[in-house]
A and B are shown apart, each in its own frame.
Chain A
């Protein structure tokens, strides 16, 4: 049975390795609480695990058949039954409160968040709206992974939603994930405690390009954060292009082919929209600005593969904002009337 001994010993070593804290430490206040819970459960579970595996191994070695002689025929009574029920009951009763305490800490809503984020998941990327700062950062399916900055030590409040199917916001270093559900927003708070770059990705299977739904959270100093916010605001204003024939938009993998269209002022114009995403709905809508106070044009949604051409009224000189209403800022751009 030396092979049995070796492999069981291997199991124990691996279990020990898990115990030693392979779990990430948690780069947020809440993540650290969860890490502590991981260790607490490990400390409670290890003796049970090692005790049962040890007893099994001991039986295998001690009671293997040697020579003749009969095995004991006792099969227990009420007392052993009571003991067998009592032991796990005590362990569970002891364990449960630890989990509940951590849960309360993790679920607590932050009363005064420094950053208010709205995060939208869609097939297959994310849009992050900085509600107080007035800009957004968006990924584009297969083409752009969004990178967002957050200030270290400042509480962040998130309202998480989905525009289509179920997604999941997951940053492994924060030891936290939460579903983005269409029609059922989720809210949570966290406070980053470490400066650094943290990868995130969707953790709920959401269709074809689920594995590409990645994003990056950079936790930076307060000063760096302020500079980044400034830069994002300016970048939103700096898009530019020139008119060259009637605008054409092509959507593929839930991304437009361009983020900038240009037309001549005070003449009617057409926009040709071609939807190459089989079975997925898009539309074309034009607004006065990204704040969408005034709707200038809104087409019906239509599933791909299909093409439509829309007739729009003349517009005065200025910058306008267009998007697909299904996918929002992830499929948006500037319409510049010159």
Chain B
């Protein structure tokens, strides 16, 4: 292996402290990354249980398990926690762990701010959840909290606002940290055009975070002012405007959707080449698609508001349909990466392939909604619930699972069980489709979203039961996953530095990496430095044989 600039560990040895204190005070990006992952999966568990409660309630018409107010809190908390405290932070957790490794850096640019942006997350999340203890319960106006419904309700709604401001602050700090790290701390030879795709996806995500999240924070402060300080931003009885909230929320909210998916695109674009034995097809096209989508995502927000009847339909319809062009490019590049490859169906690859199959459904069913007239028929029905879950669960969560299986050996030094990984994948894949595909048909049959109950004679019962059954299959798959993690962690470390024949720099260091990340860095001459190194080593071995 050729070596450039061998780096001696430059960090002072950490003083010996109690292990718990070490974790609580760490500024090491890897430990912070692990904290992000643990915290995110904990909230995933809570929000997943909320989902199961909802599905159980909806299995039959009539009220069985929870009150109406309870149900309204459940879907509000499910959406809020999944989006703000699982999907986004879990991607950022992988980013935290991997971006410095993949660009050959020692740590993030601002390690203490990095620790701060992590610790704000559990604070914000628990603030939101603490609403459950408030009089009248937690926030119950949906994760979109449309005004003026969100101006009613008790302290739970205020806690939701405060919690989200805290979480938003955390992501803005993290976003700035990533941008500086990626632009300033790259190893020699790591030019922007050799940057791993996952790093590009985190860079694009961070740009969206820094540009869009402050808009949400502003909206939340206006909402709080309306509720507690006698303002009337969103209250039409005193000259306010109800649509203002929706514009502010979705101006953030649509870029948010891309914050939640770009990272998963990056993950899949890392994993497909490794398990196909091929380079990522059309690397410049993929990066160009990321950049175009990042830019376009600020121009489509009012497609969430077609049914208000008060937005410029042609403009938002055109921009929305245009965003499918770079997205289509991504699909073509992924398929072309598989083409003529030598595919290895390890668990990360299964989840990455599942991602493509399912995210495509979420892309295609979105085409109907992009057309305003069609949207009038299906918006605010279960069609939208199906769509968002095919994008964020079939898409992002499958990507997250792919990343978990792929990088678990790097993070823990142990390979997860292949067999349990296969069970996990197939149960999750089947359970997912069983839960969410019927929701398209439920939407076409007119079932609105966010209803705690429905009448028995509308033809919705059977489809709801399919969905409920599917949700429990997903739950079983998660149990398999948990068992896999627990069983694996009880074993001694067994993972080599590069168990998958990876392409990127994180595989050049031990599993898990030392505190200072690298003892030596391979030369970076392309976006696959480790593949180059393996080729050189093979050529040298062949030379020696002759």
Interface residues of A (CB under 8 A from B): 3, 7-8, 10-11, 14, 17-18, 22-24, 31, 33-34, 37-38, 41, 44-45, 48-49, 52-53, 55-56, 59-60, 63-66, 69-76, 80-81, 83-85, 87-89, 91-92, 95-96, 98-100, 102-103, 105-107, 164-166, 168, 170, 172-173, 175-179, 181-184, 186, 188, 199, 201-212, 214, 279-280
The reply on B284 being an interface residue by CB < 8 A is yes
Report 21 cross-chain contacts, Cβ distance below 8 Å, ordered by A residue. A11-B433, A22-B444, A34-B377, A56-B335, A59-B335, A59-B341, A64-B343, A75-B283, A80-B281, A87-B328, A88-B328, A165-B242, A168-B307, A170-B446, A177-B379, A178-B376, A184-B242, A186-B308, A205-B142, A208-B140, A211-B452
Flag if B448 contacts A59 (CB, 8 Å). no
Q: How far is the CB of A293 from chain B (nearest CB, A)?
A: 24
Of the candidates A60, A87, A177, A210, which one forms a contact with B451 in the assembled complex, judged by CB atoms under 8 Å apart? A210
The 8 Å CB contact of A33, one of B282, B373, B454, is B373
Closest B residue to A18 by beta carbon equals: B440
Which residue of chain A has its CB nearest to the CB of B330? A84
A63, B339: Cβ atoms closer than 8 Å: yes
Q: List which B373-414 residues lie within 8 A (CB) of chain A.
A: 373-374, 376-377, 379-381
Flag B446-464 by CB within 8 Å of A: 1 or 0 each.
Answer: 1011111111001000000
Contact, CB under 8 Å: B451 / A96: no
- B residues in contact with A164, CB < 8 Å: 148
A71 to B141, CA, bound (A): 53
* B428-445 interface (Cβ within 8 A of A): 429-430, 433, 437, 440-441, 444-445
Given A59-B335, A205-B450, A49 contacting B364 (CB threshold 8 A): yes
Residue of chain A at shortest CB distance from B151: A165
- 0/1 per residue, B58-75, Cβ < 8 Å to A? 000000000011001000
Which parts of B316-346 form the interface with A (CB within 8 Å)? 317-318, 321-322, 324-329, 331-333, 335-336, 338-345
Residue of B340, B342, B441, B453 near A18 (CB, 8 A) is B441
Q: How many chain B residues have a CB neighbour from A under 8 Å?
A: 92
Most buried by A among B308, B326, B353: B308
Nearest chain B CB to A302's CB is how many angstroms away? 15
| Most B C-beta atoms less than 10 A away, residue of A8, A66, A206 | A206
Known A-B contacts A176-B377, A208-B68; A88 and B340 likewise in contact (beta carbons under 8 Å): no
Residues of B within 8 Å of A92, CB to CB, are 321-322, 324-325
B152 contacts across to A, CB distance below 8 A = 165, 207, 279-280
What 1/0 mask marks residues of chain B from 295 to 330 whose CB sits below 8 Å from any chain A CB?
000000000000111100110011001101111110
Check B433 against A7 for contact (C-beta < 8 Å). yes
A176 vs B202: C-alpha distance in the bound complex, in angstroms?
39
Q: Contact: B325 with A85, CB < 8 Å?
A: yes
Q: Contact at B241–A183, with CB atoms within 8 Å?
A: yes
Chain B contacts for A53, CB-based, 8 A = 357, 360
Q: Contact at B148–A38, with CB atoms within 8 Å?
A: no
B204-212, B256-264, B271-279: which one contacts chain A? B271-279
Q: Is B487 an interface residue (CB 8 A)?
A: no
Q: Look across to chain A and name the residue whose beta carbon is closest to the beta carbon of B276.
A: A71
B343 touches A65 (CB 8 A): yes
B360→A75 contact, CB < 8 A = no
Q: Assess whether A170 is in contact with B342, with CB atoms less than 8 Å apart.
A: no
Distance (whole angstroms) from the CB of B285 to the closest CB of chain A: 4
A166 and B149: CB pair below 8 A? yes
Instruction: Name A75's contact: one of B282, B338, B371, B372 (CB within 8 Å).
Output: B282
- C-alpha spacing A202/B51, complex, angstroms: 23
Return the contact of A186 from the options B148, B310, B322, B335 (Cβ within 8 A): B310
B278 near A71: Cβ-Cβ < 8 Å:
yes
